[in-house]
Structure 1
Amino acid sequence: MAKDDLVHDPRGGLPRLREIMRRLRDPDTGCPWDIEQSFATIAPYTIEEAYEVADAIEREAWDELKGELGDLLFQAVFHAQMAEEKGLFDLDQVADTMSDKMVARHPHVFGDASRDKSAEDQTRDWETVKAAERADRGAHGVLDDVAIGLPALLRALKLQKRAARVGFDWPEIGEVLDKLTEEARELAEADDPDHAFEEMGDFLFVAANLARWKGIDPEAALRAANAKFTRRFRHIEAELENRGKRPEDSDLAEMDALWNAAKAAEKR
């Protein structure tokens, strides 16, 4: 009964969530769908929930953020429960691992190191500590442990940052722009699908590099561009509906004029 009381306690906090997860995964009385899941099947949901957190923050939808963070927390609890069932680790050990990492990486807060450093100095110290941690794990290559499962633009950015730290970088931004122009030309001239595929990859990789030089997160920039496109296209749909039409009943000239009107309205 104590466990039932916890499940239904509206102030049960993290222990309540852990007990709910344990009950969902119970092989005899749990939910068939939850029981069937694995690390691999849950991973896509984890990624999706992380992006929904980022989306709520980007939209400043603070009333939604609590729920989105809860969804993301549930993913961590789900993975930890599956790990505990396999005898790998539990949620407390996950938390302890992160706590150890934060203490080790912030000697200026939790140790005797001086706090008289700029954010840039602290970033360099952070990277030094992380490099030592990678070496302890046997990851000796500069690009080792840049997660393959990252979104492609974000992974490109991280790969380029790693290479730049050891001096493999363009000396100035003008050369990055020249390279982007070169890749755009090669993409335009590609005359077969395989060649075009390769050149598109090269173009996007250099575009990510340009974002790094500009101090821009390319994933965030593209999300913003997607949102802008969605917002303006919905304006087109709304205006056409006022005219008793749908996009398929219109033509490019009319829709382009409505797009420009939406753009002008946003600038005002």
Structure 2
Amino acid sequence: MAEIIGVIERLWRYPVKSTGGERLDSVGVERRGLAGDRLYAVRDAAGRFGSGKNTRRFRRMDGLLRLSARLGHRLDGPELFDPLGRPVADPTAFLRAYLQREDVELAREDGVSHFDQLPVSVVTTATLDWAREAAPLTVVDERRFRPNVVLRTPPGTPPFVEDTWFGREGRTEAPDGARLAFVRSSERCAMTSAAQPGLPHAPELLKAVVAAHDGRLDALAEVAAPGRLRVGDRLTLA
């Protein structure tokens, strides 16, 4: 018999990598991930994508988290918003002035993945509640962890219960529900502590996650079968 692990409480999509996202009531899930998630990124002349860190694929660009993006039903690209929540008429021109970099542009994914790790991130309310207790002087909000799915778990569920899902498949009971194959957890970086609208800089939060759980938090999944996810859907493990 399938094990019910929780109810989808919130869904998040981040149309532009490393900027704030949009809450959804329902979303299609493709093999790539949630439809439109991280489909765009701020790309420099070397082909690296704006992020909170420097790697072979990513280039640190401070300030992106103060922006936000919305895709909605747009087919010609996302709508970008400045730190005050005002829509930007020309995203590339704005980004060049805002970041003080002439070599950046808003670019659609075209062969090199915009994802840091795996395409779908799920975090439970049990783990978020733990984070609030572990960092009581910090404003703890799910946006710090940038999940796609926030799952409401039953009372008494232990924190980091996500670890027990690895190697199993999550699915909803809807006939058209997506299926997620859970693989591992995210390795958290400085973006967890970075300031964003309504959330001040909070280095103590990342320190708490590192001390308690080796810097890992959430469940990352591949898409086992495309479909839909909806707020209010029950998620079961098979």
Q: State the TM-score, normalized to the length of structure 2.
A: 0.23
Higher percent of residues as strand:
2
Higher percent of residues as helix:
1
Higher relative CO (CA 8 A, sep ≥ 6), structure 1 or 2? 2
Q: State the TM-score, normalized to the length of structure 1.
A: 0.22
Larger Rg: 1
